Amino acid sequence: MGVKGTSIGAVFFVIASALLLLSPSPSADASPLLSACRFDQVYQLGDSISDTGNLIRESPLGAALPFARNPYGQTFSHHKATGRCSDGLLMIDYFAQALGLPLLNPIKDTKANFEHGANFAVAGATALSSAVLAHHHVTNPVTNSSLDIQLQWMKDHFHKFCHNDCERKLQNALFMVGEIGGNDYNYAFLQYLDEARDTLKILELVPLVVAKIKHAVEKVISFGARTIVVPGNFPMGCLPIYLTKFGLESEVDEFDENHCIWLLNSFATFHNDHLKKAIAELQEKYPYVTIVYGDYYAAYEQLFNLGETEGFELQKACCGVGGLYNFNETRMCGFPGVKACRDPERYVSWDGIHLTQEAYRMIVDWLQADLFWKLRCHH
């Protein structure tokens, strides 16, 4: 992806904009730096980090799901709950804005417009199929729409959308393959670490998950993708759900300098390192495709630097009840009587698992500068 006719002035403008991004102001919209890449479509595979309304449409529980009800969506005008797992917008929404495109519609919204892309992400989805996870004694209680299923939807969609002309029609499309895989680990840690703290067993999932993501990248290349971002995992040891589950009886030395659980963040880093290696292999195999790593981990860590100056609440969830981290799995956000804080724009965590709109906005502000260089949009 390149931009024609770059001048010194344009390069200067871009550098100046990138520097401005280092100190984002809390109320501004995402800066449109990435619009220079001139993508005309975005396609997203993933889980609740990116789902803009698929789970509430595919699940038999539908409108009874917490994400279909307030306080989810409370930051939107008219407090509209859209199925997004946050108080408002997600990272993919801010990416779309930064690209100068409309917000991405969920593929399960059959009447929606998909001219500028489609969102296949499903909240709760895993990279591995439910059958493979069951083999490892892990259950997905939310959805069976894992990566392979989402890829099948994508294939069906392109069959209608671009027929035999997909390579041309998709040449300026951006593909986001993930974040995905986080739930494979979440379910494993939250389900069977109850009995034994057997991280080694969970480590065995990492090569399987990464191989599955690698396979998904090859699949989207076969559909016609030429620019692909493959995001890694967040520092999961910083999330209130994990701090509550494993942090309460922990020794001080089990926390890192940001008061996150060291072991879990090492685990996320282990996954991310494997993923980066897989991306390097893919880039070598497909030199005509741009495949870059989306550093969600580093982007999240920026919030800790900003947090001190901006008066951010870094540990407690905004929406929840009780305990050190305002999180209790027996009374989570969306359950009857569970209230949200009044000022979600001061919180990183929305419900103990997902982030607030404001955290997502700041993360994208950082990421789009990083991606801008990696995608070589400044050529």
Ligand X SMILES: *[C@@H]1O[C@H](CO)[C@@H](O)[C@H](O)[C@H]1NC(C)=O
| Cα–Cα distance, 347 to 270 (Å, whole number) | 27
CB of 323 to ligand X, least distance (A): 3
Residue among 52, 244, 265, 368 that touches ligand X (CB under 6 A): 244
d(CA 82, CA 61): 15
Spatial distance between the Cα atoms of 348 and 241, rounded to a whole number of angstroms:
13
- List binders of ligand X among 142-161 (CB under 6 A): 142-144
User: Which part of the chain contacts ligand X (CB under 6 A), choosing from 22-30, 84-92, 139-147, 261-269?
Assistant: 139-147
8 Å CB contact between 178 and 231: yes
Nearer to ligand X, 309 or 330 (CB): 330
Q: Which of 48, 50, 145, 146 is catalytic?
A: 48
Any catalytic annotation for residue 354? yes
Residues 6+ apart with CB under 8 A from 40: 101, 116, 172, 173
Beta-carbon neighbour count of residue 147 at 10 Å? 28
Query: Which residue among 87, 93, 295, 351 is the active-site one?
Result: 351
Q: How far is residue 269's CA from residue 273's CA, in Å, rounded to a whole number?
A: 6
> With respect to ligand X, which residue has the nearer C-beta, 130 or 283?
130
**Does residue 323 interact with ligand X by CB under 6 A?**
yes
3-state helix, strand, coil in the chain (%, to 5): 45, 10, 45
| Position among 287, 330, 336, 337 found at the interface with ligand X (CB under 6 A) | 330
Please state, in angstroms and rounded to a whole number, the distance separating the CA atoms of residues 277 and 102. Answer: 33
**Is position 290 an interface residue for ligand X (rule: CB under 6 A)?**
no
- Of 233 and 328, nearer to ligand X (C-beta) is 328
351 among known catalytic residues: yes
- Is 110 among the residues that bind ligand X (CB under 6 A)? no
- Is 48 catalytic? The answer is yes
Applying CB under 6 A, the residues found at the interface with ligand X are 130, 142-144, 244, 322-323, 328, 330
The residues carrying an active-site annotation are 48, 351, 354
